[in-house]
Structure 1
Amino acid sequence: MSYRFVGIIDRYLLSGSEFTRRLRAVRPEQWTAPTPCAEWDVHRLVNHMTRGNLNYIFLLDGGSAAEFLRLRDRDALCGDPVGAYVRSVRECAAAFRKPGALKQILDYPLGPVTGEQALAVRTTDATIHTWDLARATNAPEELDPGLVAWIEDHLTDIYAGLAESPVSTETTHRFFAAPQAPPHAGESRQARLLRLMGR
């Protein structure tokens, strides 16, 4: 394993548990609440996260980038958002624990990546969307500081070689939101990361 991604399965599980903690607190009337991602309400955000985990397993099983994108919005919740998401995290972690999975080259939509880099992207996605879910449901917005620090310190490595990257000023912003504000003195690591990720 690359030293940059040592412990990535544990970090992925931590990001999943942080999302789960907010998810369990969603009230019935909040499922249709808007999120910072303009195209998603809370229900669609949770489906995006759950389907994403399942799609990463699909890539490990030899799935293609085109099929990954085709399946991206398919319902993965089956009427049980919390249960479906929790299962998807557990199943995704188990898939990446299989021998050779972290070194396997995956046909990711933004370019071929190793399993460990793909899981680093997934961990980042889960962390940022945890904030989105918290904001949408008026839950505590503080992210795990260790995850925030690790992601910010490794952003270049996490998105290295991909066709689109939130750390590139020339990226297309088809998959990642554009930064919404200039940096300012005294901003926290979380505020800086969220700004870079278009929040």
Structure 2
Amino acid sequence: MELLDGFRQGLDEFGTRVHEVGPDQWASGTPCAEWSVRDLVNHLVGEHLWAPWLLRGATLAEVGDRFDGDVLGDDPVAAWDAAVAESREAVDRPGVLEGTVHTGAGEIPAEEYLRQMTLDLTVHAWDLARGTGAGDRLDPDLVALVYGHAAELAPRWQGVGIFAPPVRVPEDAPLQDRLVGLMGRRP
């Protein structure tokens, strides 16, 4: 699977689960200990509101605080759909992988930014499924795409609050279980 196809599949994996959230599930807990289902969806909606700006070359200062706080309003599903429509459009722009993106960690290649976004979508789709009791099996090609990148990033991300410490998972466990374990979740 190519990166842009993986990004789109990650959007679909997470989005399918957003559309399955029941009205009484928004306050439910998730494997992200400090986040409810609503908090988790708010996090991803916020990321996808930022993405079009950053992929067009905007700096963090130019985006400012416009996407801080609750970006879901009264209709979290509609907020997700609107954010993703713009994010998907930005990613479909010719040459998107050739640019750079301003992040809190400095300027990085757009390809790296989209790899991180795809990893986030994938792992959080699993989190959302676990928080709502939905099916948590992810597309195996998507999992294969993000696993190597996750293995590379996990040691650097430990201790900075991005993901919990890895959970030991048998080496012969399915790749999805190894991925979520690597990202601090119990499969």
Shorter-chain TM band: 0.7 to 0.9
Q: What is the total number of aligned residue pairs between the two structures?
A: 185
Q: CA deviation at 1:154?
A: 3.7
Aligned sequence identity (%): 37
Which residue in the other structure is 1:166 paired with? 154
Q: CA deviation at 1:72?
A: 6.0
Do 2:49 and 2:83's aligned partners in 1 also have CA atoms closer than 8 Å? yes
Counterparts of residues 169-188 of structure 1 (less than 5 Å): 171-179=158-166, 181-188=167-174
Do 2:169 and 2:177's aligned partners in 1 also have CA atoms closer than 8 Å? no
Deviates more, 1:25-34 or 1:83-92: 83-92
In structure 2, list runs of 5 or more residues that go unmatched. Answer: none
Give CA deviations for 1:165-184 in whole Å, capped at 9, x if unaligned: 3144x8433222221x2242
Q: CA deviation at 1:188?
A: 1.1
Match of 1:115 among 110, 116, 125: 110
Q: CA deviation at 1:81?
A: 1.2
Which residue in the other structure is 2:180 paired with? 194
Which residue in the other structure is 1:49 paired with? 44
Which residue in the other structure is 1:59 paired with? 54
Which residue in the other structure is 1:147 paired with? 142
Q: Do structure 1's residue 8 and structure 2's residue 3 form an aligned pair? A: yes
Looking at structure 1, the residues matched to 171 and 94 of structure 2 have their Cα atoms a distance apart, in angstroms, of: 45
Counterparts of residues 85-124 of structure 1 (less than 5 Å): 85-124=80-119
Do 1:166 and 1:177's aligned partners in 2 also have CA atoms closer than 8 Å? no
Looking at structure 1, the residues matched to 88 and 173 of structure 2 have their Cα atoms a distance apart, in angstroms, of: 33
Give CA deviations for 1:111-163 in whole Å, capped at 9, x if unaligned: 3211122111101100100011011111111111111111113436xx6xxxx
Do 2:144 and 2:175's aligned partners in 1 also have CA atoms closer than 8 Å? yes
Q: CA RMSD in A?
A: 2.3
Do 1:66 and 1:109's aligned partners in 2 also have CA atoms closer than 8 Å? no
Change in 2 beyond 3 A, CA 1:68/1:148: farther
- Give TM-score scaled by structure 1 length: 0.82
In structure 1, list runs of 5 or more residues that go unmatched. Answer: 1-5, 160-164
Do 1:48 and 1:72's aligned partners in 2 also have CA atoms closer than 8 Å? no
Looking at structure 2, the residues matched to 10 and 120 of structure 1 have their Cα atoms a distance apart, in angstroms, of: 11
- Give TM-score scaled by structure 2 length: 0.87
Deviates more, 1:182-191 or 1:130-139: 182-191
Looking at structure 1, the residues matched to 4 and 86 of structure 2 have their Cα atoms a distance apart, in angstroms, of: 12
Looking at structure 2, the residues matched to 42 and 71 of structure 1 have their Cα atoms a distance apart, in angstroms, of: 22
Q: What is the letter of the counterpart of residue 172 of structure 1?
A: G
Q: CA deviation at 1:93?
A: 1.9
Change in 2 beyond 3 A, CA 1:34/1:58: same
Change in 2 beyond 3 A, CA 1:73/1:35: farther
Secondary structure (helix, strand or coil) at the match of 1:107 reads: strand
Q: CA deviation at 1:68?
A: 6.6
Match of 1:128 among 99, 112, 123: 123
Secondary structure (helix, strand or coil) at the match of 1:166 reads: helix
